[in-house]
Amino acid sequence: MYIKCCLSNCNIDEFTIYYKVKEVFYIRFIYRSEYMSQVFKQDLTDDSVRPGGLFFVELLMPGQCDMPDRDTMVEVFTKHLGPVDCFSYGAESAGFAPQNYKVHYEDNDADIPPTLMVTNCEKIDKPVLDDFERSQVWDCPNVDELLDECQYRVFATDMLASGLEPKERADMLVKYVDALLELYPSCKAVVFGPSRKFLSRETIENHPDKAVTRFIYYAVNVRYFSIQGTDDMMVDTLGMSTLFYPDLQYHFHGMNPDEIVNHAYSVLYYIFEHDNPIDDGQTIAGLENGDMNPDIKWAVQYEDSLIQPVRTVIDINMGEYASGTR
């Protein structure tokens, strides 16, 4: 099976990515009448996305900047996250423990806060996004301009946070991002790992959802692919594993992919709000004329993803619109 990744919001006349699942995938760039080809081998043993794994962001900025002073960082983090302890501060990094968020460790019957780490600003020495990741930037029309302009970055991550309840961790992370944007006013864009979601500063600051549910928009990427040589398409999500939730996967034909993307977001919010009540073999409401209809039942099953990175997904069987074998 060959996949074609469609790229939007760019000055390239055509950009296509072809790859053969489990073997070799091919990337072809066409710039007006000129083109060049590169070959990549897809690695479906890539298990870099681990449930509950490390969450990090990259703050992208045009120039070198100093780390804010210790007192300023404590003040801003406290404003957004509640009381924090600064347990380390130096030229290379700073570490903070948000006291409103605690992980219970049964071994020593202790409630311990996670760790928030911020590194110093560094020069970017290789592309922030590879070609495959770049093809799945859908929410930033000026991504090329920002990537060219921003030559420096700051890494920020959480550690020892997997034991938090999903909504608690999501709440901490979105407020962490808000605080980081305040601390680094020259930051122009943020890359969210491991989903590689790329958002401009303005998009984050102007997002209308100020509740914890904005984690879905910030940190989960909804991707779109078309299957080369067929009318088949694929929509999947990447990023829910941070909260120990499954991603989604749709392999289909004959429907507007924009409607499937909207359906995916609806299911993601349902999973988030209800702590994933979806079991293997159940059905969920499907689509009719672009709207969710409980009388249209799409069966679901848990399986490994068809597209890297390998992770657990809920595969949604779209009935008469489903493609592939199940």
- CA torsion, points 201, 202, 204, 206, in degrees to nearest 10? 160
**3-class SS shares of the chain: helix, strand, coil, % to 5:** 25, 35, 40
Inform me whether the pLDDT recorded for 242 exceeds 80.
yes
229: tokens are 């040589």
Peptide bond into 257 cis (omega under 30): no
- For 27-41, 135-149, 166-180, which range has the lowest pLDDT when averaged over its residues? 27-41
Q: Higher model confidence: residue 146 or residue 20?
A: 146
326: tokens are 């199940």
What does pLDDT average to over the chain? 86
Inform me whether the pLDDT recorded for 23 exceeds 90.
no
Query: What is the pLDDT confidence band of residue 307, given thresholds at 50, 70 and 90?
Result: confident
Per-residue model confidence (pLDDT) at position 132: 83
Inform me whether the pLDDT recorded for 2 exceeds 70.
no
Listing DSSP states for 45-90 in one string gives T-----TT---EEEEEESS--PPPPHHHHHHHHHHHHS-EEEEEE-
Name the residue type at position 270.
Y
13: tokens are 């006349």
Name the residue type at position 297.
K
Pairing of strands 189-193, 197-200: antiparallel
Q: How far apart are CA 246 and CA 248, in angstroms?
A: 7
Residue 113 in contact with residue 141, Cβ under 8 Å? no
Query: What is the pLDDT confidence band of residue 47, given thresholds at 50, 70 and 90?
Result: confident
Inform me whether the pLDDT recorded for 36 exceeds 80.
no
pTM above 0.75, yes or no: yes
Peptide bond into 309 cis (omega under 30): yes
Lookup result for tokens 């929509």: 235
Q: Average pLDDT, stretch 196-220?
A: 95
Per-residue model confidence (pLDDT) at position 324: 80
Q: Average pLDDT, stretch 196-201?
A: 97
Peptide bond into 208 cis (omega under 30): no
Q: What angle do CA 244, 302, 51 make, to 5 degrees?
A: 20
Q: Average pLDDT, stretch 220-237?
A: 89
Per-residue model confidence (pLDDT) at position 43: 58
Per-residue model confidence (pLDDT) at position 315: 97
Inform me whether the pLDDT recorded for 5 exceeds 80.
no
Inform me whether the pLDDT recorded for 16 exceeds 70.
no
Residue 233 in contact with residue 227, Cβ under 8 Å? yes
Q: Average pLDDT, stretch 105-126?
A: 95
Per-residue model confidence (pLDDT) at position 326: 63
Inform me whether the pLDDT recorded for 37 exceeds 50.
no
Per-residue model confidence (pLDDT) at position 308: 87
Q: Average pLDDT, stretch 23-32?
A: 26
Pairing of strands 110-112, 103-105: antiparallel
> Within 13 Å and on the Cβ side, how many CA atoms surround 4?
14
Query: What is the pLDDT confidence band of residue 211, given thresholds at 50, 70 and 90?
Result: very high
Domain ranges of the chain: 1-42, 56-218, 227-326
Q: Kindly report, residue by residue over 70-92, the tens digit of the pLDDT.
A: 999 999 999 999 999 999 999 89
Q: How far apart are CA 303 and CA 177, in angstroms?
A: 32
Q: How far apart are CA 225 and CA 3, in angstroms?
A: 6
- For 5-9, 153-157, 280-284, which range has the lowest pLDDT when averaged over its residues? 5-9
Residue 135 in contact with residue 234, Cβ under 8 Å? no
Non-local CB neighbours of 73 within 8 Å, separated by 6+ positions: 67, 86, 89, 94, 96, 118, 183
Q: How far apart are CA 123 and CA 231, in angstroms?
A: 43
